Structure 1
């Protein structure tokens, strides 16, 4: 863990989870969010899960109509 990262608890964690949920639901990928926030994929995924975020299937666009590579 670097000096810029610390364990998140309480209101800070809830606020970040809400912000991540909004970004994910508007089209950002988990990997994009992890890169933007300089956190691991697993940490971002866990916060999204804690925020009851409906997760897209792998490779799906936000509107769930077609795989991202098509």
Structure 2
């Protein structure tokens, strides 16, 4: 996978950068990575990762990983 650039907090991105980074994050997300895992890999905030994924056209998975079963 391609390396994502190091970004400072609040650093603005050009449209081309947003598109390129968003596409890379989308590839990783579609292979099963969670938003939190993408944050840990890139050092980006959850908000930034989510916005970049949204701009890339993601369909977010349901939250919480594997389904939980109710007991009782």
Greater Rg by CA = 2
Give the TM-score normalised by the residue count of structure 1. 0.76
CA distance in 2, matches of 1:7, 1:35: 20
Runs of 4+ in 1 over 2 A off after TM superposition: none
Q: More relative contact order in 1 or in 2 (CA 8 Å, sep 6+)?
A: 2
Q: CA RMSD in A?
A: 2.0
CA distance in 2, matches of 1:8, 1:54: 22
- Report what 1:51 is aligned to: 56
Q: Which runs of 5+ in 2 are unaligned?
A: 1-5
Number of positions where the alignment pairs a residue of Structure 1 with one of Structure 2: 62
Give the TM-score normalised by the residue count of structure 2. 0.74
Q: Which runs of 5+ in 1 are unaligned?
A: 61-65
Is residue 39 from structure 1 mapped to residue 44 from structure 2 by the alignment? yes
